[in-house]
Amino acid sequence: MVPKGLYMGGTTNNIMVQKITCPKCNSNEVIKWCKRKTENRGLIQRYKCKSCSSYFTIDDGFFRMRNTPEKISQSIDLFYRGVSTRKVQEHLAIFHPHNASNVSIYKWVVKYAKMIGGFTDKLNLNVGEELQVDEMEHHRRKHHTTRGIETNWFIDCIDTSTRFMVSSHFADKRNSKAIKKVVASAKQKTGNKIVICTTDGFNVYDSVVRSVFGYYNLKKGIVIHNKVTQLKGEGFNHPIERLHNNIRARTKVMRGFHGSINSANAILKGFEIYYNFVTKHQAIKKCPYELATDLKLGKNKWLDLIYTSKEEKV
């Protein structure tokens, strides 16, 4: 998938122009007008609008970026596979003549996690009947220049059939407002497909599930609230606990989230994207999005997701 006015042939590196629209006046009377030479991204095609005489280049999601799309998507992928930003910087220095700083890599992660997340959050999902909801305690550094640990919570829910992480949110507190935000978002994405909502024994879930799915639906048995309390020997919610183990393995080596709830939320939103669309799940032998959505992504899934997100935004 590519931005509006473009289509792709063969691989993600082969981008051809099909139809261009002027961003200023929305006219289709556009012609090619020389190329702009950049230091690190090569030649970029410029266009001229015959209606308003303005010049422009296509914003494909990497507008005014000083590094190639392949290099940026490679850095994001390495980061979510467990490599720190400084180690990613060292890796890039070996294979690319123009190196980026570790701060630039961090900004890429946050920027494109938000961009792709805005698109994936609007997808209609083909999920099963059971939704598991849980929260994970996370100790975050208060500020990157001062000492102190703050306890926050990562709240998420997963479809047990496709293993798709339907919704998630990194919150400063574990309360009904934060949990309801996640469950309500999951309900909106899945429609009326959910029959069983499985949670642990945390008391807040009673009112949240009743509020989101409806009191009468629970009373009539249309929706079942399945509470699994480990302290009572009822076992674990294995699919979502397995997901939390993956998240802990990645965040354990992170040196705080730079003292910001918003940046931590963006980083974990990127992990949600990585888990759903990039890496294969061992249980289903494929990426969760292949079962839960109708998207078709190529080999470089990060790059295709960025192009698709930009196209939908336009």
pLDDT at 205: 95
- Give the residue-averaged pLDDT of 225-247: 85
pLDDT at 20: 81
Higher pLDDT: 50 or 2? It is 50
- Give the residue-averaged pLDDT of 81-92: 92
Least confident of 115-119, 122-126, 255-259: 255-259
- Tell me: pLDDT of 56 over 90: no
E strands, 177-233, are 196-199, 224-227
% of the chain residues with pLDDT over 70: 89
**Bridging pattern class, strands 196-199 and 224-227:** parallel
Q: For residue 189, is it left (φ>0), alpha (ψ between -120 and 50) or beta?
A: alpha
Convert the pLDDT of each residue in 274-290 to its tens digit: 999 999 998 899 999 99
- Rounded Cα gap, residues 283 and 80, in angstroms: 20
- Rounded Cα gap, residues 314 and 311, in angstroms: 5
E strands, the chain, are 6-8, 15-17, 30-37, 43-49, 55-56, 130-143, 146-159, 165-171, 196-199, 224-227
Q: Under a CB-based contact definition with an 8 Å cutoff, are residues 120 and 276 in contact?
A: yes
Q: What is the three-state SS of 243-262?
A: HHHHHHHHHCCCCCCCCCHH
Convert the pLDDT of each residue in 157-179 to its tens digit: 999 999 999 999 999 889 999 99
- Tell me: pLDDT of 59 over 80: no
Higher pLDDT: 183 or 38? It is 183
Write the CA distances from 295 to 123, 225, 262, 289, integer angstroms.
10, 31, 28, 7
Q: Enter the pTM of the model.
A: 0.84
E strands, 98-241, are 130-143, 146-159, 165-171, 196-199, 224-227
pLDDT classification of 252: cutoffs 50, 70, 90? confident
- Tell me: pLDDT of 148 over 90: no
User: Any idea which fold 130-294 has?
Assistant: Nucleotidyltransferase; domain 5 (3.30.420)
- Rounded Cα gap, residues 242 and 236, in angstroms: 10
HSE (CB half, 13 Å, CA atoms) of 67? 20
Higher pLDDT: 146 or 195? It is 195
Rounded to the nearest integer, the mean pLDDT of the chain is 86
Q: Under a CB-based contact definition with an 8 Å cutoff, are residues 108 and 75 in contact?
A: yes
pLDDT classification of 233: cutoffs 50, 70, 90? low
Report the CATH number of the 6-64 domain: 2.20.25
Give how far the C-alpha of residue 71 lies from the chain's centroid of Cα atoms, to the nearest Å.
Answer: 19
Higher pLDDT: 288 or 41? It is 288
Convert the pLDDT of each residue in 164-217 to its tens digit: 999 999 998 899 999 999 999 999 999 899 999 999 989 999 999 999 999 999
- Give the residue-averaged pLDDT of 19-27: 83
Residues 6 or more apart whose Cβ sits within 8 Å of residue 34: 46
- Tell me: pLDDT of 18 over 70: no
pLDDT classification of 256: cutoffs 50, 70, 90? low
Q: Under a CB-based contact definition with an 8 Å cutoff, are residues 170 and 264 in contact?
A: yes
Residues 6 or more apart whose Cβ sits within 8 Å of residue 260: none
